[in-house]
Structure 1
Amino acid sequence: MVCEAFTMYAGTIYKDCRQIALALAVLGTVSSASLAFAQTLNVQQEEDPRRANNAARITKEVSPSDSGTDDKERVQASYQPKGIALGSFILFPAIENEVLFNSNIYSTRDNVKADIVDKVMPEIKLRSRFSEHAVNFTARAEQFLYRTHDAENHLDANIMADGRYDLSRDWEANGLLSFNRSYEDRGSPDAVAGEHPTLTNTYFTRLGSKQRSGRMTYAAVLTLDRRLYGDVSTSTGTAINNSDRNRIESEGTVSASYELFPGYAAVAELSANRRHYDDRRDDLGFERSSWGYAARTGVSVDLSQLVRGDFTVGYMAQDYEDSRFTDPHGLSVRASFNWTPSKLTVVVPSLERSIQETTASQTSALVRTSAGLLVRHELERNIVLTASGKVFNDYYEGTRQSNWTYEARLRGIWALAPEYYVGAETGTRIRTSTVKSSEFTQTVMLLRLGAHL
């Protein structure tokens, strides 16, 4: 199927070759500059503060995320809970309570409504402590209680199990199973104007394998994502059918990397996907099922005391079954770097261009281009501060609608003891659009109190 896709799109790929060549030229320049910078700093491979015992816990994260739910695990080890020993496992129970102010709960331009939200979040984590292999289990619930607009009250929940099997020192297999019950964000491009937010149930499976052989590293990943959407009604009682959004998204990815010299590796990645809707046609008569692929190449960098991460660039395309849809295609970029300027600070710039699924009217897909920056700093052994900013553009393929979204967040966590912590956060989200009704501004402020064992 992938070969047929390359044949089908050969003419189109040729037209975009200059874009890809330009990106590869930029990639080469960035790689050369990084190497020169590392040489200028006289970096020593054996002295990596990200892995040193006296470095901050945050600098040791391989792929730092902007998830506030993980902040309690980012303070120093002496402020971490000991857990409850259960044979070869350790159980970590926790509970959080948040009081949150949302200036625009419906994410609308007009008729803006604000509210105060109480959130209660119990959680358990079960971690293995085998000499090899690993098995983990996590269960978390989030109860949202709105002080005034109680129609927005809802319960989110997530159950996840993941594991790793070490076939040998250089070969591992891994997998993940999860169920996620959540309610669609009012600011989502696909959100419908229901009296209640839309319930979404997601079943996700990932199977993968990774093997190292000399300077080569091979990896393969298969994912299966099942999504089910609940129906809602409007304030007038009119029913909104969401079942035509139900679908299965599957994707297979193979990749290989070759260590050119210490700190630099060449990488190549090829993926193919299938997005299949339960209903052959949605309520407007469109066939939304599709298949697509992406091919990228680039470099992987791991320079001690400086930076590690990946920069890949290539081509992507998605082919929809409905001939009335415009099929998105073009440049694909994925980059994320983990820079540790000191033992207490990590800086993570990122850039990505991808094709996102949508069920917006008359639109086949969203072509999303996003750039972000995350900065995390250990102010004290028990105080971690995080600042992040992100800007992304959603281009609606077929209608030419274009949305720009700007997000900024600042938060901190203070571990008072291994069993207790407090936190605070403030954030703003601003959206501008060629469709004025899609614009909104939203500010969120919250205080958090948590306990764990």
Structure 2
Amino acid sequence: MKYLVSAAIAALLVVSTPHVASAQDTASNFKRDRNVSVRERPRPDYEAIGVKAGGFTLYPRVTASVEGNDNIYATKADEKADAIWRVKPELAVRSNWSRHALGAFASASVNRYADFASEDTEEYTLAVNGRLDIVHGSNISGSVQYQALTEPRTSPQSPASAVKPIEYSLLTSKLTGVKEFNRLRLTGRLSDLDYNYDDGVDRLGGTVEQDTRDRNEFYYGGKVEYAMSPDTALFLSVLGNTKSYDLATAGRDSDGYVATVGANFELSEVVRGDVAVGYMKQSYDNALYGEIDGFSGEAKVEWFPTALTTVTTTAGRTIEEAVTTGSPGYISNNIGLNIDHELLRNVLLSANASYGKDNYEKIDRSDKRTGAGASVAYLLNRRVGVFLTYTYLKQNSSGVNHGTSFADNKLAASVALQF
């Protein structure tokens, strides 16, 4: 199935480029653009011009940063601090067409630790994306993306025994079709994610087995929306999935779905949001795992107290895959709050806080996470930006089969150059 999706997308070469809006959307009943958040607001004097190349524009960018981390291994005892130097080159390509869109993206991240070279990593991303505009209110879009990634030490699935962070690749393919009939909008979605993990090495030279995590996740479904008014729409969404592990001995193959009802809205010039509630279920082939089900929810609400401040609240309840022996997965509950403020046209302030709780099935384990952060962005001109970011994360894992508990503080200073 995964090859079918990838082949279909590659053959069509239709994929939606970020920040490129279809000309067909101008009279849509589903536009929610009366308010513009602080992060979305255009800043012509500080935006990259790009390099013209025929019908495309190239946007090169490179970011260099230094980060101080007081707990690089994310442990409760014997914490180790270090300075990390990062260099991240990027290149985005976007079409300049009046109809349809085609784009590409490439980035890399080279990360070097001052004292603990075992943590050094390199990551990269390659992607192509675009959109085919058919008739008014109809389009097909999709994307193909390949990533070589490193699992953060702070991940609840990261094995503490590995002397180096676990590396893995992720191939993501997506295909979306949209058809709008005045007050009715239909959306169909296919997506395919293929994970491939590299084995790790423990402190005694043994293998930290990761092949049991290699898997394919295929998602399929649709959404029906009805516009009650130009400001509010009700919707029904159903998203099914099939998760297949490469090793049958893993015993984690499953099928599931999430069915929700909700609304997206933009009430006056104060509030904009998307809220959904429903039911989720994941059934496992292994009879010992049975199934995980329960209430599902997702929400994002933006409040605009002034034109210079945006307050965003997010929440979600989902079923996630687990690595821990004896557990097929866990229910993850998360809430978050983010505040963005435009102090000056070129000075942006942000602060955030989050809380999450993961309840593992079939074993005695519960993880609680508390996060907070703050950042300052100073845009000197359209080519140079300076950033200062602080991040705090605390995890408390409890139960007989508990994972790692830790607290982590990071302070990073970055300089970005764009053209």
1:47 shift after superposition: 12
* Aligned-partner SS, 1:412: strand
1:58 shift after superposition: 2.4
1:264 to 212, 232, 246: 232
Instruction: Report if the CA contact (8 A) 2:276-2:298 is conserved.
Output: yes
1:440 aligned residue: 406
- CA 1:115 to 1:297, structure 2 compared with 1: closer, same or farther past 3 Å? same
Q: TM-score, normalised by structure 1?
A: 0.82
* Aligned-partner SS, 1:244: helix
- CA 1:108 to 1:409, structure 2 compared with 1: closer, same or farther past 3 Å? same
1:342 shift after superposition: 2.0
* Aligned-partner SS, 1:58: coil
1:127 shift after superposition: 1.2
1:325 aligned residue: 289
1:126 aligned residue: 93
* Aligned-partner SS, 2:325: coil
Identity of aligned residues (%): 26
Deviations 1:172-228 (A, max 9, x none): 111011011111111212211211111110000000011110211110110000000
Structure 1 CA distance, aligned partners of 2:322 and 2:276?
25
Instruction: Report if the CA contact (8 A) 1:109-1:437 is conserved.
Output: no
Instruction: Report if the CA contact (8 A) 2:388-2:412 is conserved.
Output: yes
Structure 2 CA distance, aligned partners of 1:113 and 1:232?
20
Answering whether residue 367 of structure 2 is matched by residue 403 of structure 1, we say yes
Structure 2 CA distance, aligned partners of 1:439 and 1:228?
27
1:57 shift after superposition: 5.5
Structure 1 CA distance, aligned partners of 2:230 and 2:105?
37
Answering whether residue 399 of structure 2 is matched by residue 418 of structure 1, we say no
Answering whether residue 354 of structure 2 is matched by residue 390 of structure 1, we say yes
2:46 to 72, 79, 86: 79
1:352 aligned residue: 316
2:340 to 376, 397, 413: 376
Instruction: Report if the CA contact (8 A) 1:357-1:365 is conserved.
Output: yes
* Aligned-partner SS, 2:39: helix
2:394 aligned residue: 430
1:93 to 60, 65, 72: 60
Answering whether residue 35 of structure 2 is matched by residue 50 of structure 1, we say yes
Instruction: Report if the CA contact (8 A) 1:47-1:304 is conserved.
Output: no
* Aligned-partner SS, 1:123: strand
Q: How does 1:24-423 map to 2 (within 5 A)?
A: 50=35, 58-60=39-41, 76-192=43-159, 193-282=161-250, 287-423=251-387
Q: TM-score, normalised by structure 2?
A: 0.89
* Aligned-partner SS, 1:78: helix
Instruction: Report if the CA contact (8 A) 2:391-2:410 is conserved.
Output: yes
* Aligned-partner SS, 1:194: coil
Structure 1 CA distance, aligned partners of 2:214 and 2:82?
31
Structure 1 CA distance, aligned partners of 2:214 and 2:152?
17
Instruction: Report if the CA contact (8 A) 1:326-1:397 is conserved.
Output: no
Higher strand share: 2
1:48 shift after superposition: 7.1
- CA 1:341 to 1:302, structure 2 compared with 1: closer, same or farther past 3 Å? same
Instruction: Report if the CA contact (8 A) 2:32-2:272 is conserved.
Output: no
Instruction: Report if the CA contact (8 A) 1:208-1:222 is conserved.
Output: yes
Structure 2 CA distance, aligned partners of 1:111 and 1:307?
46
- CA 1:164 to 1:437, structure 2 compared with 1: closer, same or farther past 3 Å? closer
Deviations 1:329-352 (A, max 9, x none): 010011111222222222211111
Instruction: Report if the CA contact (8 A) 1:50-1:59 is conserved.
Output: no
Structure 2 CA distance, aligned partners of 1:271 and 1:95?
37
Structure 1 CA distance, aligned partners of 2:40 and 2:86?
30
* Aligned-partner SS, 2:134: strand
1:59 shift after superposition: 4.8
Higher helix share: 1
1:411 shift after superposition: 0.8
Instruction: Report if the CA contact (8 A) 1:58-1:345 is conserved.
Output: no
* Aligned-partner SS, 1:328: strand
* Aligned-partner SS, 1:281: helix
* Aligned-partner SS, 1:417: coil
Structure 1 CA distance, aligned partners of 2:414 and 2:233?
42
**Gaps in structure 2 of 5+ consecutive residues:** 1-30
1:32 aligned residue: none
1:400 shift after superposition: 3.1
* Aligned-partner SS, 1:338: strand
Give the RMSD, CA atoms, in angstroms: 1.7
Structure 2 CA distance, aligned partners of 1:59 and 1:181?
29
Structure 1 CA distance, aligned partners of 2:180 and 2:303?
25
1:49 shift after superposition: 5.7
Amino acid at match of 2:409: T
**Gaps in structure 1 of 5+ consecutive residues:** 1-45, 61-74
